[in-house]
Amino acid sequence: MEETTTFHGLGHLFMTIFLYCFSSFIVAPAITDISMAALCPGKDECSLAIYLSGFQQVITGVGSLMMMPLMGSLSDKHGRKCLLTLPMTLNILPLATLAYSRGTTIFYMYYVLKTFTSIVCEGSVLCLALAYVADNVSEGRRASAFGILTGITSCAFVCATLCARFLSIAATFQILHIATYLVAAAMAILSTLYMRLFLPDSIRDNSLGAPIVLSEKLSSPLLEDCHGHKNRIFRAIRSVREMTSLMRRSVPLFQVAMVSFFSSLAEAGLHASSMYYLKAKFHFNKDQFADLMIIFGAAGSISQVNKN
């Protein structure tokens, strides 16, 4: 397959991911204050909020472990765009719920919706986006394309956090205009509509359509470049048991999975506890959380640019 030199053909995918990540990240600085206000009004310490956050992460992690192989397998058959529609649409529900009210009852409704929708949404959008890139970028250029996609998510994180920094807590989950940005639920709806209207599908019925990035049409689907038995292995991943069997057969895949697991474990544990610790110990609010997140996000964006 001929290597590509530019990624302008993936512009619609990059914009879709930017809008989706923006809608997800803009609520991050405020969710700690909102959780505390709903569960422990007038207090800076709340054990219930920490326990609920930890329980949510456990359910989301276990559920994602079972759902993501299924999502990938279905996307091989029905196309990346079709499967992207599901998590991006579900992402709207918890945001719209909390936009309605911040009372305790509504917060519990948001919590339940967020927990179950995250089983499908958490990680699946990015994984399907990476699969979309792999479908349309030659093997020699995929690492750079993956880096660009990751850099766009970091950029969305910085932009969303900056927007949240200058919004009141009451406005963060509502639909309104601040400069050129729409926030939370509006951005989630916009990202889904943009994806459905402008993003071409790359795979239909287990074969590639017209490649977006390549200047010439492929004479055969990308998957045909692999050996037949490898195709059957990847398309057969529909359960945790089969995925575990695949990792046992592939040492590099197992090593990558272990690195990803421990990295995610440390990151999730630190994020879950540090926000409430800073709230209890130093009385941090949304603005201080946003300041810290901007620093982290800016550093991540710069590192991705340097890699590429």
Counting beta carbons within 10 angstroms of the beta carbon of residue 48, is it exposed (0 to 12), middle (13 to 18) or buried (19 or more)?
A: exposed
In angstroms, the Cα distances linking 215 to 39, 168, 223 are 56, 47, 19
For residue 186, the SS3 value is helix
pLDDT in tens, 111-137: 999 999 999 998 899 999 999 999 888
Phi, psi dihedral angles at 57 (to 5 degrees): -65, -35
Question: Residue 188 corresponds to which tokens in the numbers above?
Answer: 């989630």
Report the C-alpha gap between 54 and 299 in whole angstroms.
27
CB 33: neighbour CB atoms within 10 A? 19
pLDDT at 5: 40
* Residues contacting residue 177 through CB under 8 Å, at least 6 positions apart: none
> Residue 127: which region, alpha, beta or left (left: phi > 0; alpha: psi -120 to 50)?
alpha
pLDDT at 218: 39
- Find residue 181's DSSP bridge partners: 178
- Any idea of the CA torsion for 220, 222, 225, 227, to the nearest 10 degrees? -110
* Residues contacting residue 86 through CB under 8 Å, at least 6 positions apart: 71, 120
Query: What are the structural domains of the chain?
Result: 10-206+221-307 (1.20.1250.20)
Stretches in the chain below the pLDDT threshold 70: 1-9, 168-183, 203-243, 265-266, 268-270, 272, 300-301, 303-308
Indicate whether this model's pTM tops 0.95.
no
DSSP letters for 240-293: HHHHHHHHHH-HHHHHHHHHHHHHHHHHHHHHHHHHHHHHHHH---HHHHHHHH
The gap from C-alpha 296 to its chain's centroid, in whole angstroms, comes to 17
Closest CA to 190 of 19, 18, 15, 42: 19
Does an H or E element contain 45, and which? none
**Helices 124-136 + 80-90 axis angle, to 10:** 160
* Residues contacting residue 63 through CB under 8 Å, at least 6 positions apart: 116, 118, 119, 120
- Find residue 178's DSSP bridge partners: 181
Closest CA to 90 of 55, 131, 125: 125
